[in-house]
Amino acid sequence: METKPSETFDEWAATYRRDCPSRTVVEALANKWVLYVLGALRRHDRPMRFSELRRLLDGVTQKMLTQTLRALERDGLVHRTVYPTVPPRVEYGLTDLGVEAGRLTSAIGAWSVEHARQILAARQNFDNQAATAPEPIR
Protein backbone atom coordinates (compact mmCIF):
# COMPACT_ATOMS: atom_id res chain seq x y z
CA MET A 1 0.00 0.00 0.00
CA GLU A 2 1.52 3.30 -1.09
CA THR A 3 1.08 6.37 1.02
CA LYS A 4 -0.14 9.48 -0.74
CA PRO A 5 1.95 12.64 -0.35
CA SER A 6 -0.82 14.29 1.71
CA GLU A 7 -1.28 11.22 3.90
CA THR A 8 0.56 11.06 7.21
CA PHE A 9 2.10 7.89 8.56
CA ASP A 10 -0.54 7.77 11.29
CA GLU A 11 -3.33 7.97 8.70
CA TRP A 12 -1.72 5.21 6.67
CA ALA A 13 -1.05 3.05 9.76
CA ALA A 14 -4.69 3.40 10.81
CA THR A 15 -5.62 1.09 7.91
CA TYR A 16 -4.01 -1.75 9.88
CA ARG A 17 -6.20 -1.19 12.91
CA ARG A 18 -8.82 -3.79 13.72
CA ASP A 19 -11.59 -1.18 13.55
CA CYS A 20 -10.66 0.21 10.11
CA PRO A 21 -13.56 -0.28 7.66
CA SER A 22 -11.15 -1.15 4.84
CA ARG A 23 -10.16 -4.26 6.76
CA THR A 24 -13.56 -5.84 6.15
CA VAL A 25 -13.14 -5.18 2.41
CA VAL A 26 -9.71 -6.83 2.38
CA GLU A 27 -11.12 -9.81 4.29
CA ALA A 28 -13.92 -10.17 1.74
CA LEU A 29 -11.55 -10.01 -1.23
CA ALA A 30 -9.10 -12.43 0.37
CA ASN A 31 -11.62 -15.29 0.10
CA LYS A 32 -10.46 -17.76 -2.56
CA TRP A 33 -13.93 -18.24 -4.04
CA VAL A 34 -14.40 -14.47 -4.25
CA LEU A 35 -11.18 -14.29 -6.27
CA TYR A 36 -12.34 -17.06 -8.58
CA VAL A 37 -15.88 -15.72 -9.06
CA LEU A 38 -14.67 -12.20 -9.82
CA GLY A 39 -12.06 -13.64 -12.17
CA ALA A 40 -14.57 -15.83 -13.99
CA LEU A 41 -17.08 -13.01 -14.45
CA ARG A 42 -14.35 -10.64 -15.61
CA ARG A 43 -12.80 -13.16 -18.01
CA HIS A 44 -16.16 -14.01 -19.58
CA ASP A 45 -17.02 -10.31 -19.81
CA ARG A 46 -20.71 -11.07 -19.64
CA PRO A 47 -23.26 -12.14 -17.04
CA MET A 48 -23.17 -15.83 -16.20
CA ARG A 49 -25.73 -18.23 -14.85
CA PHE A 50 -25.17 -20.00 -11.54
CA SER A 51 -24.77 -23.36 -13.29
CA GLU A 52 -22.10 -21.94 -15.63
CA LEU A 53 -20.12 -20.62 -12.70
CA ARG A 54 -20.50 -23.88 -10.82
CA ARG A 55 -19.19 -25.91 -13.79
CA LEU A 56 -16.29 -23.53 -14.33
CA LEU A 57 -15.19 -23.32 -10.68
CA ASP A 58 -14.05 -26.87 -10.08
CA GLY A 59 -14.44 -27.83 -6.44
CA VAL A 60 -16.91 -25.15 -5.33
CA THR A 61 -20.00 -26.49 -3.61
CA GLN A 62 -23.45 -25.16 -4.39
CA LYS A 63 -23.66 -23.78 -0.85
CA MET A 64 -20.29 -22.00 -1.06
CA LEU A 65 -21.03 -20.51 -4.47
CA THR A 66 -24.41 -19.27 -3.22
CA GLN A 67 -22.80 -17.70 -0.14
CA THR A 68 -20.04 -16.13 -2.23
CA LEU A 69 -22.44 -14.63 -4.77
CA ARG A 70 -24.68 -13.26 -2.00
CA ALA A 71 -21.69 -11.66 -0.26
CA LEU A 72 -20.49 -10.13 -3.53
CA GLU A 73 -23.98 -8.81 -4.24
CA ARG A 74 -24.20 -7.38 -0.72
CA ASP A 75 -20.84 -5.65 -1.19
CA GLY A 76 -21.98 -4.12 -4.48
CA LEU A 77 -19.50 -6.05 -6.63
CA VAL A 78 -22.01 -8.32 -8.38
CA HIS A 79 -25.53 -7.68 -9.60
CA ARG A 80 -28.12 -10.41 -9.82
CA THR A 81 -30.72 -10.33 -12.57
CA VAL A 82 -33.80 -12.55 -12.37
CA TYR A 83 -35.72 -13.09 -15.61
CA PRO A 84 -39.46 -13.86 -15.27
CA THR A 85 -39.41 -17.21 -17.02
CA VAL A 86 -40.51 -20.65 -15.86
CA PRO A 87 -38.29 -21.72 -14.23
CA PRO A 88 -36.78 -18.30 -13.42
CA ARG A 89 -33.46 -17.59 -15.12
CA VAL A 90 -30.88 -15.88 -12.91
CA GLU A 91 -27.66 -14.28 -14.13
CA TYR A 92 -24.77 -12.71 -12.25
CA GLY A 93 -22.63 -9.93 -13.63
CA LEU A 94 -20.06 -7.47 -12.37
CA THR A 95 -20.99 -3.97 -11.31
CA ASP A 96 -18.58 -1.13 -12.12
CA LEU A 97 -17.09 -1.63 -8.67
CA GLY A 98 -16.83 -5.36 -9.36
CA VAL A 99 -15.00 -4.73 -12.65
CA GLU A 100 -12.48 -2.63 -10.74
CA ALA A 101 -12.06 -5.29 -8.05
CA GLY A 102 -11.81 -7.90 -10.80
CA ARG A 103 -8.76 -6.11 -12.19
CA LEU A 104 -7.05 -6.52 -8.84
CA THR A 105 -8.02 -10.16 -8.40
CA SER A 106 -7.03 -10.94 -11.99
CA ALA A 107 -3.61 -9.47 -11.29
CA ILE A 108 -3.28 -11.80 -8.29
CA GLY A 109 -4.35 -14.73 -10.46
CA ALA A 110 -1.88 -13.85 -13.23
CA TRP A 111 0.94 -13.45 -10.70
CA SER A 112 0.00 -16.83 -9.17
CA VAL A 113 0.15 -18.58 -12.53
CA GLU A 114 3.45 -16.92 -13.41
CA HIS A 115 5.12 -17.82 -10.12
CA ALA A 116 3.45 -21.12 -9.17
CA ARG A 117 6.51 -23.23 -10.03
CA GLN A 118 8.76 -21.03 -7.89
CA ILE A 119 6.37 -21.19 -4.96
CA LEU A 120 5.99 -24.97 -5.23
CA ALA A 121 9.78 -25.39 -5.41
CA ALA A 122 10.24 -23.16 -2.34
CA ARG A 123 7.64 -25.22 -0.45
CA GLN A 124 9.37 -28.46 -1.41
CA ASN A 125 12.74 -27.05 -0.36
CA PHE A 126 11.31 -25.90 2.97
CA ASP A 127 9.61 -29.25 3.60
CA ASN A 128 12.81 -31.15 2.75
CA GLN A 129 14.81 -29.01 5.19
CA ALA A 130 12.20 -29.47 7.91
CA ALA A 131 12.26 -33.25 7.38
CA THR A 132 16.03 -33.42 7.82
CA ALA A 133 16.85 -34.12 11.44
CA PRO A 134 19.43 -31.73 12.90
CA GLU A 135 22.84 -33.12 13.75
CA PRO A 136 23.47 -33.47 17.50
CA ILE A 137 25.88 -30.92 18.96
CA ARG A 138 29.18 -32.51 20.02
Provide the pLDDT for residue 133: 67
Yes or no: domain 31-131 corresponds to CATH 3.10.129.10: no
**Any residues with CB less than 8 A from the CB of 76 and at least 6 apart, and which?**
95, 97, 98
Q: Where in the chain are the domains?
A: 31-131
Res 122: pLDDT: 96
**Residue 53 CB neighbours (<10 A):** 21
* pLDDT < 70 regions, the chain: 1-6, 133
